[in-house]
Amino acid sequence: MNKSSIWTVVGVIVAIVIAWFLVNILFSLLWFIGKLLVVAVVAVIVFFVLRMLFTRGDDAS
C-alpha cells in the first residue's frame, strides 16, 4: 500500500466522522426547532382558551 492510498483511506474516515457529527448536530437543531414550534402552537391555543374562559366569567358578573 503506497502513501497516497493510506492518505485516501484516512481522508475517507475523517470525512465520515465529520459528516456524522454534522448530521447529528443538524438533526438536533431541527428537533429543537420542531419542539419550539409545537410549544408555540400549544401556547397560543391555551392562551385563547384561557382568554375565552376569563372573558366569559367577566360577562356573567
**pLDDT 10s digits, 13-48:** 999 999 999 999 999 999 999 999 999 999 999 999
**pLDDT score recorded for residue 36:** 98
- For the entire predicted model, the pTM comes to 0.64
State residue 59's pLDDT score: 62
Q: How far apart are CA 59 and CA 53, in angstroms?
A: 10
DSSP state of 1: -
CA 60, chain centre distance (Å)? 44
Cell of 29: 437543531
pLDDT at 61 over 70: no
